[in-house]
Structure 1
Amino acid sequence: MSIWFTEKQTENFGITMKINKTYVSEQTEFQKLDMVETEEFGNMLILDGMVMTTQKDEFVYHEMVAHVPLFTHPNPKHVLVVGGGDGGVIREVLKHPSVEKAVLVEIDGKVIEYSKKYLPEIAVDLENPRVEVKVDDGFMHIATSENEYDVIMVDSTEPVGPAAKLFEKGFYEGISKALKEDGIFVAQTDNPWFTPELISQVFSDVSEIFPITRLYTANIPTYPSGLWTFTIGSKKHDPLEVPAERFHDIETKYWTPQLHTAAFALPKFVSDLLK
């Protein structure tokens, strides 16, 4: 008998995958955590019934969260990742030699523990000497930081449970305070097919705080609708005005210098959400 997992992405739509085995099914202090092996996408991390990452397509999300802001900033040295306990964003951050220190603040230590065990190629750099891992509340870490980071990346789940406050305007105001005078931040902001109101609200909130605010997209097949958005807020540096000589060679599977710019070219129904 085949076993299938279905993520109910809306009340009327879901995505289904065949499961070979279940490694972990646990209620942590913060959320329901499942780690499974799928037939199509390899090992997969699920939080509160939502797909977080898989071995097959993880590189898209992690590369686009990390490389767009890091290449936009002329000299990123001190980087913060809020969430991201699987370690994928950290792995990509460390491909930039200018980064002297990357701080990861993940609220759920179990995400880190099981990612190291079952997603080792994603969590590969969590013990790198340039990385500081804190099992703590990212919201509170931001609230107590000031003029500290060059780039902040918010690698959160969807806006439910412990991640809901990471989509509030007050959080973005805290991020602005935690950034240096030419700092940049990026956050995943869900998809335009099922959560258009969220994209509109976040873009409006970030635009009131950051003089340069832009939206870009990527194709991630295991995320709702497959079309995913990221909102970037910058104090000085425009991701659409990065000089060509700033792009240095790094090993990627999705991001390229050409895609860096192309990702900001939005379908009209998406750009309409930003008006």
Structure 2
Amino acid sequence: MELWFTEHHNDCIGYSLKVKRTLNSEETKYQKLDVIESEFYGRVLVLDGILQTTEKDEFVYHEMIVHVPLFTHKNPKNVLIVGGGDGGAVKEILKHDTVERIVLAEIDERVVENSKKYLPSISYGLNDKKVELMIGDGIKYVNEHKNEFDVVIVDSTDPIGPAVGLFTEDFYRSVYDCLRDDGIIVAQTESPFIYGNLINKLSKMFKKIYPIVKPYICTIPTYPGHLWTFTMGSKKYDPEAVDVNNIPEIETKYYTPELHKSSFVLPKFLKDIFEEA
């Protein structure tokens, strides 16, 4: 008998993966957590029935949420990740020699523990000496740390369950205060095909707070709608003004200096969503 995992959205669409076996399934303090081994995408982390990352395509999401802001900032030394307990963002940040300190604020320690055990190709950076692991409420952590970070990366799940508070204006204002005078925030802001209204709402919030607001995109095979957005809020640096000739060569599978520029070119319907905000 074949076993399939299906992720559902809006009670009308789904995305399915054929499963070889279930490696772990548990109810954590905050959410339902599953780690499965799929036929095509390798090992997969699932939270509350929503696919978070896979061994096969994780590099797309993690490279784009990390390298675009870090190569936009002139000298990123201190980086905060809110969420991101799988360690994928940490793995990419460690490729930047200027970074001296990485704080990972993850509310659910079981995400970290399962990722270390079952997803070592993604999570191995969590043991690096530059990484400070803070298990607890990322919103509370941001509120308690002012003018401390060069870049804040909001690597959250969908706006349900424990991640709801990471999609509010109060949180983005707190991040502004947490950033230094030339700081940058990047948040994953979902698929325009599934969450167009949310993207419009978030764009309005960002524009109230940050002088430079730039959305950018990539394509992620296992995320709903496939086309994915990130929103950058910057106090000083314009990501489209970066001289790509000065971007150093690092090991990537998706991100390139040319892609840094082109990721800010939006399809017409998506540009309309942001410009209406």
The one-letter amino acid of 2:272's match is: D
**Matches of 2:233 and 2:26 in 1, distance apart?**
36
1:15 matched to 2:15: yes
Unaligned runs of 5+ in 1: none
**Matches of 1:83 and 1:246 in 2, distance apart?**
30
1:182 matched to 2:182: yes
Question: Which residue of structure 2 lines up, in the alignment, with residue 46 of structure 1?
Answer: 46
* Structure 1 residue 243, shift from structure 2 partner: 1.9
Counterpart secondary structure, 2:44 = strand
**Matches of 1:197 and 1:169 in 2, distance apart?**
15
The one-letter amino acid of 1:132's match is: E
**Matches of 1:227 and 1:17 in 2, distance apart?**
18
Name the Cα RMSD after superposition: 0.6
Question: Which residue of structure 2 lines up, in the alignment, with residue 37 of structure 1?
Answer: 37
Question: Which residue of structure 2 lines up, in the alignment, with residue 173 of structure 1?
Answer: 173
Question: Which residue of structure 2 lines up, in the alignment, with residue 131 of structure 1?
Answer: 131
Q: Is the 8 A contact 2:82 2:156 kept in 1?
A: yes
Q: Is the 8 A contact 2:20 2:38 kept in 1?
A: yes
Matches within 5 A, 1:1-275: 1-274=1-274, 275=276
Q: Is the 8 A contact 2:244 2:258 kept in 1?
A: no
Q: Is the 8 A contact 1:74 1:246 kept in 2?
A: no
The one-letter amino acid of 1:255's match is: Y
**Matches of 2:245 and 2:149 in 1, distance apart?**
24
* Structure 1 residue 244, shift from structure 2 partner: 2.9
Counterpart secondary structure, 1:249 = coil
**Matches of 1:22 and 1:134 in 2, distance apart?**
28
Unaligned runs of 5+ in 2: none
TM-score (norm 2): 0.98
Structure 1, 242-251 or 122-131: larger mean CA deviation: 242-251
The CA deviation string for residues 79-122 of structure 1, in whole angstroms up to 9 with x for no partner, is 00000000000000010000000000100000000101111010
Q: How many residues align?
A: 275
**Matches of 2:190 and 2:125 in 1, distance apart?**
26
**Matches of 1:134 and 1:163 in 2, distance apart?**
16
Q: Which ranges of 4 or more aligned residues in structure 1 deviate by more than 3 Å?
A: none
Identity %: 51
**Matches of 1:19 and 1:244 in 2, distance apart?**
41
Counterpart secondary structure, 1:56 = coil
Q: Is the 8 A contact 1:71 1:246 kept in 2?
A: no
Counterpart secondary structure, 1:186 = strand
Counterpart secondary structure, 1:121 = helix
The one-letter amino acid of 1:107's match is: I
Higher helix share: 2
* Structure 1 residue 245, shift from structure 2 partner: 4.1
* Structure 1 residue 10, shift from structure 2 partner: 2.3
The one-letter amino acid of 1:272's match is: D
Q: Is the 8 A contact 2:165 2:171 kept in 1?
A: yes
* Structure 1 residue 9, shift from structure 2 partner: 2.1
The CA deviation string for residues 171-199 of structure 1, in whole angstroms up to 9 with x for no partner, is 00000000000000100000101110110
